[in-house]
Amino acid sequence: MKYYIIIPAHNEADFIEQTLHSVVQQTLLPKKVVLVNDASTDATEMIIDRFVAQYSFFTKVNTNASDEHLPGSKVVKAFYTGFETLDADFDVIVKLDADLILPTNYFETICRHFESDPKIGIAGGLAFIEKNGNWVYETVADKNHVRGPFKAYRKACFEQIGGLQKSLGWDTADVLLARFYGWKVFVDETLAIKHLKPTGNAYKQKVHRNHGVVFYKLGYGFWISLISSFKIALKKKSIPIFFDYMKGFFAAQKAKTPKMVTSAQATFIRTYRRTQMTRKIKRFLGL
């Protein structure tokens, strides 16, 4: 299978060289890799230039996606700056962050999964972070969720879900929409990805509220938003986070903020989330 990779990078000089080395060491090489230098002020562009000069399948694009580093929207804007330079002759498109080390068989294995099951629309491995000299699972998402830093999309799935939402919450919207259209989201737990710059635990209050807005835009409704906000607050050990999420949800509801999904998609999403929550409760209770 032909796969293309897009790597947005903003001031990733400490990590990007390791990421690119892990790409060129793959047992199945990509046909094209677009490196999007997003207004970096460190040595990121210099490192990118070295790889572009050495490997013919690398190209560079410079951009300034946004002055504000808001999780989600900025990286998707940079992704599309790279995507617009590509042709359509690919089977799989990959959005890859610039702070990862992939196992050498990563893309060979991912492509094998796509080939073996035509219903797999999104695939990926699991992220691990270093703690006290050991690599441990990064517990910011369930193991049935392909994380945004290393998502691979089958072309037909990518097109059917309308690509990536240029908004905070794209990383959740894509998997929910893929499932709505009948695609499988597949996580290969044997593929351990080293995440060199762990996902931050402390966002500004404004960002917490924006996440609450995302709950509304995804059609979660009050009760699912309430439970999800409470779960996140417990995980972060911060009750104020719960109130920030819900303030964002209510603000979006009051303003009648446009949703990211249709009415039918929102109904499916609520049913899916309720099913997932019920399953977790039963598992916790040993039922």
CATH number for the domain spanning 143: value is 3.90.550.10
Whether 251 has a pLDDT exceeding 60, the answer reads yes
- Looking at the structure, tell me whether residues 216 and 244 fall in a common domain: yes
Q: Summarize pLDDT for 202-214 with one digit per residue, the tens.
A: 445 568 898 999 9
Find how far residue 104's CA is from the centre of its chain: 21
Cα angle value 62/92/270 (rounded, 5°): 100
Mean predicted confidence (pLDDT) in 178-197: 96
- Looking at the structure, tell me whether residues 215 and 157 fall in a common domain: no
- Looking at the structure, tell me whether residues 211 and 120 fall in a common domain: no
Supply the pTM of this predicted model.
Answer: 0.90
Per-residue pLDDT at 147 = 94
User: Worst-scoring range by mean pLDDT, 65-74, 153-162, 234-243, 277-286?
Assistant: 65-74
- Looking at the structure, tell me whether residues 160 and 234 fall in a common domain: no
Whether 164 has a pLDDT exceeding 50, the answer reads yes
Number of domains in the chain: 2
Contacts of 27 (CB under 8 A, 6+ apart): 104, 105, 107, 108
Q: Summarize pLDDT for 12-42 with one digit per residue, the tens.
A: 999 999 999 999 999 999 999 999 999 999 9
Residue where a domain terminates, one of 162, 195, 228: 195
Is the separation of the CB atoms in 157 and 183 below 8 Å? yes
Is the separation of the CB atoms in 90 and 155 below 8 Å? yes
- Looking at the structure, tell me whether residues 102 and 210 fall in a common domain: no
User: How far apart, in whole angstroms, are the C-alpha atoms of residue 45 and residue 21?
Assistant: 15
More confident residue, 139 or 175: 175
- Looking at the structure, tell me whether residues 153 and 55 fall in a common domain: yes
User: Worst-scoring range by mean pLDDT, 140-144, 198-202, 278-282?
Assistant: 198-202
- Looking at the structure, tell me whether residues 176 and 211 fall in a common domain: no
Q: Using pLDDT thresholds of 50, 70 and 90, give the confidence band for residue 252.
A: very high
Q: Say what percent of the chain tops pLDDT 70.
A: 94
Q: Has residue 17 been placed in a domain?
A: yes
Neighbours of 66 (CB within 10 A): 15
What are the structure tokens assigned to 150, written together?
A: 């290393």
Q: Using pLDDT thresholds of 50, 70 and 90, give the confidence band for residue 78.
A: very high
Q: Summarize pLDDT for 39-48 with one digit per residue, the tens.
A: 999 999 999 9
Q: Summarize pLDDT for 111-132 with one digit per residue, the tens.
A: 999 999 999 999 999 999 999 8
- Looking at the structure, tell me whether residues 151 and 243 fall in a common domain: no
- Looking at the structure, tell me whether residues 172 and 118 fall in a common domain: yes
Per-residue pLDDT at 161 = 97
Residue where a domain terminates, one of 141, 172, 195: 195
- Looking at the structure, tell me whether residues 16 and 44 fall in a common domain: yes
- Looking at the structure, tell me whether residues 188 and 226 fall in a common domain: no
Is the separation of the CB atoms in 139 and 131 below 8 Å? no
Q: Has residue 200 been placed in a domain?
A: no
User: Worst-scoring range by mean pLDDT, 3-7, 178-182, 189-193, 275-279?
Assistant: 275-279
Block residue for tokens 């994380």: 147
43: containing domain: 3-195
Per-residue pLDDT at 282 = 79
Residue where a domain terminates, one of 169, 195, 221: 195
User: How far apart, in whole angstroms, are the C-alpha atoms of residue 95 and residue 77?
Assistant: 12
Q: Using pLDDT thresholds of 50, 70 and 90, give the confidence band for residue 276.
A: confident
- Looking at the structure, tell me whether residues 182 and 244 fall in a common domain: no
